[in-house]
Amino acid sequence: MQVRLQIQRSDPATGETRLQLYQLDHVRPAATLLDCLEQIKDEQDGTLAFRRSCREGICGSCAVRVDGRTALACRTPVAELVAGGRVPIVAPIGNLPLIRDLVVEMEPMWQKMRSVEPFLRPSSELPRDGRETVVPPALLEAVHKEALCINCGACISECDALTVSPEFLGPHALVKAWRLVGDPREPLSKSRLKELSREHGIWECTRCYLCNERCPKDVDPRDAIAKLGAEAFAAGLTRDRGARHARWLITSARTTGWLRESELVVKTLGIVVSVTRIPLALRLVRHGKAPLPLPRHKASELGPARELRRIVAEQDRRGARGIVQGERVLARIELTHAPAQPEPETEDF
């Protein structure tokens, strides 16, 4: 099989980047993109720089962007990429500083992970028998997916919120956060949730779902963020702007069947800040991007909206257990061993 790739090269001294075309004439049909990078380095160009180690999708070294989509090179069969004579572009992952060619500086990602204090803090009391903590297996299901994270940075690369707001904790650190908050052995969940609910925390995610889409280990980072949000709600941490925003969506849907966007700003930001946004609001109205506050938006039929809410409530999926999004996750939900115990209902969820 013939493979042609355009690979982004860079000069570490100047930071300048360019695309370089490589052609391999003899590639095994079952080869991965990583196999091809290795072959190029071995046979054609020893100066090509990329990270790699396990070549089986567990070490998390070789995330790259292929035609803009982040993937592990070692888990990407190359035949599909070059089908029909296509010449894919291979570039380093996004939202992290470039070191050279396909190698980026991962430290900003690690720094954010460190900031969530990523370790369990078991209480000082040891089990009496000196053995393991007894934990029903169903409770550990809550963090099962998050424990699969291999720190490859694919979610960081794909995250639009991070591009716009570099201080955002980001999907990777939040996955780690849920791994700990959701662990039945962790005693400090509420104080962690409080920290995570601050600015640049869980509510800064824009819910684009690209992290779920591209995570090579099916960790579904957005789901972890949603679980954090749901648990923050359940713990009564609803004062943050993001939480107020979510709360208003529910109230608005329940009372009028619609999202009343003009009121949303006031409910989320408060009156004082909202006043400063009036010029922006007027510009939005002028361009047809926002409705006028009056007359009040109201659906002709309120029934369906309320019925939907009732169905969700009946399914007993409050808190983190309510976070079931996308087909892949639905497929996996059958695996839970025991039905979850209902929790007391909170105001809006």
Q: State yes or no: residue 151 binds other proteins (CB under 8 A).
A: yes
- Nearest residue to 92 (alpha-carbon basis) of 172, 24, 19: 19
Tokens of 310: 């009732």
Cβ nearer to other proteins, comparing 66 with 237: 66
Q: Is 130 in the site for other proteins (CB under 8 A)?
A: yes
3-state secondary structure of 23: strand
| Separation of alpha carbons 34 and 263, rounded Å | 51
Q: Which is nearer to other proteins, 135 or 208 (CB)?
A: 135
Rounded to whole angstroms, the Cα distance separating 290 from 283 reads: 9
The residue within the footprint of other proteins, chosen from 16, 21, 25, 46 (CB under 8 A), is: 46
Residue 57 interacts with other proteins (CB under 8 A): yes or no: yes
Tell me which residues in 66-125 interact with other proteins (CB under 8 A).
75, 77, 99-101, 103, 105-106, 110, 114, 117-120, 122
Count of positions on this chain that bind other proteins (CB under 8 A): 58
C-alpha distances (whole Å) from 40 to each of 6, 72, 133, 180, 245 are 12, 17, 51, 41, 51
Residue 298 CB neighbours (<10 A): 11
C-alpha 283/C-alpha 281 separation (Å) is 5
Interface residue with other proteins among 4, 9, 69, 185 (CB under 8 A) is 185
Which of residues 3, 7, 22, 32 is near other proteins by CB under 8 A? 32
Phi, then psi, of 343 in degrees rounded to 5: -110, 160
The yes or no reply on residue 326 touching other proteins (CB under 8 A) is no
Nearer to other proteins, 170 or 257 (CB): 170
Per CB under 8 A, which region of 54-62, 189-197, 241-249, 280-288 contacts other proteins?
A: 54-62
- Taking the least distance from each CB to other proteins, the nearer of 24 and 265 is 24
Beta bridge partners of 91: 65
Ramachandran sector of residue 95 (left: φ over 0; alpha: ψ -120 to 50; beta: rest): left
Examine residue 30 and tell whether it contacts other proteins (CB under 8 A). yes
Helix (H, G, I), strand (E, B), or coil: what is residue 43?
Answer: helix
- Least distance between other proteins and beta carbon 23 (Å): 18
Residue type, 143: V
- Joined together, the tokens standing for residue 48 give 């090509």
Q: Which is nearer to other proteins, 175 or 230 (CB)?
A: 175
Residues that bind other proteins (CB under 8 A): 12, 30, 32, 41-43, 45-47, 49-50, 52-61, 75, 77, 99-101, 103, 105-106, 110, 114, 117-120, 122, 126, 130-137, 140, 143-144, 147-151, 180, 183, 185, 332, 335
